[in-house]
Amino acid sequence: MGKIHLTKENQEQAIKDTEVIEKTAQKEANKSTIKRASEGKIYVTSSYNNTIITLTNNKGQVLAWKSAGSVGFKGTKKSTSFAASKVAETMSGICKKIGLEKLNIFVSGIGAGRESSVRTFIGQGLNVVSIKDITPIPHNGCRPRKIRRV
């Protein structure tokens, strides 16, 4: 009996959470006062704890940025792919408001939000020209410790 009751409460809580997140996403998309541009770059930084999406023009000047925390997620929910897709939705709304025609996406980091954010940008109807992975990769690593002599 108790387990069934708990799952119903968890489902209701999840529905309430998604409603709150969608409302904050709409508010953030409506707030933006940003300059017009035709081409832009989107940097998706996905870590184990958060997903941050930055929108820049071709010169590299930041036009807007959003993270899973700023959209309304807290704690471990920020690191999910669902949170990354919601952040990408709000950023795509900002891109449409600016009037961007071409987007170059640069993905870095190792987190759950990498693929879901890119798929969301493509699914929102934005013209994605290129997708590039710019995650830093160590080539040979740092210098090893000296050999221990006993």
Structural domain boundaries enclosing 128: 2-29+37-133
142 part of a folded domain: no
| pLDDT tens digits for range 123-137 | 999 999 999 999 998
Give the other-Cβ count within 10 Å of 5's Cβ. 9
| pLDDT tens digits for range 10-30 | 777 777 777 777 777 666 666
144 part of a folded domain: no
What pLDDT score does 89 carry?
A: 95
pTM: 0.74
107 part of a folded domain: yes
87 part of a folded domain: yes
When divided into structural domains, the chain yields a total of 1
CA angle 135, 28, 43 (to 5 degrees): 15
148 part of a folded domain: no
Q: How confident is the model at residue 72 (pLDDT cuts 50, 70, 90)?
A: very high
What pLDDT score does 37 carry?
A: 75
143 part of a folded domain: no
Q: Token digits for 53?
A: 């999406």
DSSP strand E in the chain: where?
39-46, 51-56, 62-67, 102-108, 128-133
What pLDDT score does 15 carry?
A: 78
140 part of a folded domain: no
- The four Cα atoms 89, 94, 96, 98 give a dihedral, to 10 degrees, of -170
